[in-house]
Chain A
Amino acid sequence: MNDSQHISSAFDRDLEAIQAMIMKMGGLVEAGLLDAAKALETNDEELAATVRQNDMEIDALEELVNEEAARVIALRAPTASDLRTVLTVIKISGNLERCGDYAKNLAKRTSVLVQMRPPQGTATSIRRMAREVELMLKDVLDAYIQRDADLAEDVRQRDHEVDQMYNALFREFLTFMMEDPRYITSCMHLHFIAKNLERVGDHVTSIADQVIYLVTGEMPDDARPKGDRTSFANPSIDKIP
């Protein structure tokens, strides 16, 4: 990685400015995920409303990042690591925008879930999962700003754990619904939340891929770790307690 300054300091300022926008977006998404999960656990409808509101800012930042990236390409014709910086901010901002949408969706479902009583302990499990993906997001943003490909690889591997958490929750919700049909509505919502958090993990993994590309010039060659096997789950053959 090339740390020295451009002869044109305005070029440095442009590149720093778009990367600062990415970091700001990342911070907002992190806060959104944590707050949405907290709102779910504590039945805090006001906090959920704030999360929904803040997603607008994330969307606006994504547009701004894309505009700025297009401007830098047109005016500065970036090459090599500069080009990769511009290409990766475009992709990463797209990933972060999707993550923001999932946080917003989580907050929406919270407003529905406060009206009913979901099974004991499920909100806590969701919050644990949200904290895990938020931690991955925090680390991948650190890896991005420090150009740390090793940390990015570590984040990629941790996506396995999130996938396993999701698989466990999937079975848990299935069990609750089979035991008591009155749990179906809440468990359906909770399942979507868990699935969305699992998707956030995938987006974070994709950001980690971009960090590795940015640092090394090459995409990681092994396929992205995949751990969601619930599409093969079949309640009739699953052992139901």
Chain B
Amino acid sequence: MLEPWIFIALLLGAGMLLPGVTIVANWLLAPKKPNPIKQSIYECGIETVGETYIQLKGGYYIYALIFVVFDIEAVFMFPWAVAFDKLQLYMVMEGVIFILILAAGLAYAWRKGVLEWV
């Protein structure tokens, strides 16, 4: 009963130990010569401008909503793909029709201009 848990505990310990050792070793061995340019947020790249807490545009939300739906519909694709070589012809066709319906939805959203980043 307990054996699998011991195994999990061992794995957990090993999983913590390995990155921990490298991080600590890095901190101990690395030379420390700080200067302002090194400590800036982006060593290379442009400085940030303005507040961090800004509102995003509405177009983004609609994009996200469409993503939510398509993301979840993929759940039906997995069993279909896993059993693909055992399927009969009409089952394959059903899957194709399912994808076509999703494509119709995508085409609708595209034509309505939802996919453009406004």
Our verdict on whether A and B bind, yes or no, reads: no
